[in-house]
Chains A and B, each alone.
Chain A
């Protein structure tokens, strides 16, 4: 029986909840796999060896790091789920603006916590990650596809096309043309464009698509009324550590 694990490091548990929301698929999966580690959902957790491990959350403490390193040794395939695990998440957006000591002091009054705390980082800064399923939260269909692809010996593959592509397929009017700040042109699709379909600009939670032209989107956003600084911050919210302004001719991620 294939052994699966789902764990959460520093995050909000939203991705784990989305995995639990795959209700029918989970029930079907249970005949083919054994969920041996899933502390949010079960008591009898085993860490001996895992075929497939889904990791939610950023690495922000020594506890996160040690658990992750221990599990990686016993895991065949590791999948980072959600923007925290893939990019550091919302908590990483000011990594380049404020020192961690300062953050601790501001919130706790002193630099003294029961364990070591460091700058929130994506899982890939500590261990090898085999697949990335970004999103805040991850898209639950992609979770189901990933498990079923791997069970069938197929490599999961999700093309890094921009959200604009799926937004057009949904026949939405372009929000940027209507003057609403939107990150659709530079963001990795796969979510089905639920936000733009509601009339809310894409917030970039899934990170970069292939060949994102950050410079151009910043110039468009500033023409729509955001200051250069605020446009940068808008792009940084979910991209965390990985964000730096890139032009289209810089090629690739």
Chain B
């Protein structure tokens, strides 16, 4: 007997995804995770455009993690033109990332994932019973948005993030205000962390062998080197030798493997390395759940851990920025022929940008690898393991469990 279970439109995830589960004679025969995203051909639409247009165009890859795409592009272009920015610009970029993670992770925790664990169809449906939980989610998101708007110019797709720095930088008073709001937010994030730690997560062990993140896994600290959990390190210039992409017959996202294997990236892979801010590391020892963990559902808890990490670091970035104030917002940029590489930890995982320019600074080639593409394979492996242990369950229950697992990845 053969039956096929389909989730045709995954909800509470960014983008369009679907899952097909084929069960034959009480055994799982096939799992397909299909991203049905309309392709937007960023590698083609960046071509023939001046370098000044590139960060703007590619930030539109994702409305939630645009800061990461924009910065990865900026890093790559600065790499190609051999531009070195000052410490002030670097810190402001780190602070932007703090804003992005506050917004993106709290959106994920409170709006995409939490309804699964609280038994509601959506966060908006939780308002009546849990007004304070919902408001806390709003507050976290709001502070993240304010930071992105202040530095970037807009909450989504801020145009002030440029090659060579920023057109203008916030005032001293505005920076002080960011520092104060982050400090005030820390207890709220701690509550979020312990609240998430108190939830029941399905018992599950992922079969992935490899985890990957930058060699400074804290999302707001940048690096040009990537670390694999088997001890291999590679530089951003070598990424194409390690992260190999293949076209999938049923998905518009390409499938990536490292050393021929699926691999984990994102919050859980980063937190598993336990290179956290000392104050955060201290606090994680009091949690009921512990890291490193192979339970993919704990990515949600890892997000809360990272929220605290970026908040503490954000306070430090503000202090250092104030000690450097005022600093030049922009450094000079002179286009030249060549190829540049940029790598960055986005909320969902490591992403890669690569551009080649002619001598006028016009783009003649691009390659971008998004976290979604890298995660497809490991999610499918996880789904296989999950379904194999749930074959006796009702169809609706299998589908529900699959959705909850996929949402933990936030592909």
Question: Chain A: residues with CB nearer than 8 A to chain B?
Answer: 8-18, 20-21, 23, 26-27, 30, 35, 38-45, 57-58, 60-61, 63-64, 89-91, 93-94, 97-98, 102-104, 106-110, 113-115, 117, 120, 136-137, 194-195, 197-200, 203, 205, 230, 233-234, 237
Contact A115 B50 (CB under 8 A): no
Q: How far is the CB of A102 from chain B (nearest CB, A)?
A: 8
How far apart sit A89 and B127, CA to CA, in the bound complex (Å)? 34
How far apart sit A38 and B14, CA to CA, in the bound complex (Å)? 11
Contact A114 B124 (CB under 8 A): no
Partner-binding segment picked from B156-164, B172-180, B270-278, B348-356: B156-164
Contact A60 B38 (CB under 8 A): yes
Contact A12 B62 (CB under 8 A): yes
Contact B36 A63 (CB under 8 A): yes
Question: Chain B: residues with CB nearer than 8 A to chain A?
Answer: 9, 11-16, 34, 36-41, 43-45, 47-50, 53, 56-57, 60-64, 66, 107, 111, 115, 121-125, 127, 138, 141-142, 145, 149, 153-157, 159-160, 162, 166-168, 247, 249-252, 254
How far apart sit A13 and B276, CA to CA, in the bound complex (Å)? 30
Q: What would be 7 A-B contacts, judged by CB atoms less than 8 Å apart?
A: A10-B40, A21-B155, A30-B124, A44-B122, A90-B60, A106-B43, A137-B156
Q: Which residues of chain B come closer than 8 Å to A110, judged between CB atoms?
A: 247
Q: How far is the CB of B39 from chain A (nearest CB, A)?
A: 6
Chain A residue at minimum C-beta to C-beta distance from B111: A41
Contact B115 A40 (CB under 8 A): no
Chain A residue at minimum C-beta to C-beta distance from B254: A108
The 9 A-B pairs of least Cβ separation, nearest first, read A14-B63, A10-B38, A42-B122, A60-B38, A199-B167, A91-B40, A12-B63, A43-B121, A44-B121
Contact A23 B142 (CB under 8 A): yes
Known interface pairs A21-B141, A106-B44, A237-B53; A13-B12 also in contact (CB < 8 Å): no
Contact B153 A114 (CB under 8 A): no
How far apart sit A44 and B160, CA to CA, in the bound complex (Å)? 38
How far apart sit A178 and B268, CA to CA, in the bound complex (Å)? 47
Contact B44 A98 (CB under 8 A): yes
Q: How far is the CB of A60 from chain B (nearest CB, A)?
A: 3
Chain A residue at minimum C-beta to C-beta distance from B43: A107
How far apart sit A18 and B64, CA to CA, in the bound complex (Å)? 10
Q: Which residues of chain A come closer than 8 Å to B153, judged between CB atoms?
A: 194-195, 197-198, 200
Contact A106 B41 (CB under 8 A): yes
How far apart sit A120 and B56, CA to CA, in the bound complex (Å)? 18
How far apart sit A132 and B145, CA to CA, in the bound complex (Å)? 25
How far apart sit A15 and B160, CA to CA, in the bound complex (Å)? 19
How far apart sit A180 and B15, CA to CA, in the bound complex (Å)? 35
Q: Which residues of chain B come closer than 8 Å to A27, judged between CB atoms?
A: 127
Which among B14, B40, B154 is the interface contact of A194 at CB below 8 angstroms? Answer: B154
How far apart sit A35 and B14, CA to CA, in the bound complex (Å)? 18
Which of B48, B64, B121, B159 is packed against the most chain A CB atoms within 10 Å? B159
Q: Which residues of chain A come closer than 8 Å to B138, judged between CB atoms?
A: 23
Contact B40 A120 (CB under 8 A): yes
Contact B38 A117 (CB under 8 A): yes
Contact A233 B41 (CB under 8 A): no
Contact B60 A21 (CB under 8 A): no
Q: Which residues of chain A come closer than 8 Å to B141, judged between CB atoms?
A: 21, 23
Contact B167 A200 (CB under 8 A): yes
How far apart sit A109 and B249, CA to CA, in the bound complex (Å)? 12
Q: Which residues of chain B come closer than 8 Å to A199, judged between CB atoms?
A: 160, 167-168
Known interface pairs A114-B249, A194-B153; A89-B39 also in contact (CB < 8 Å): no
Q: How far is the CB of B408 from chain A (nearest CB, A)?
A: 15
Chain B residue at minimum C-beta to C-beta distance from A39: B11
Contact B48 A20 (CB under 8 A): no
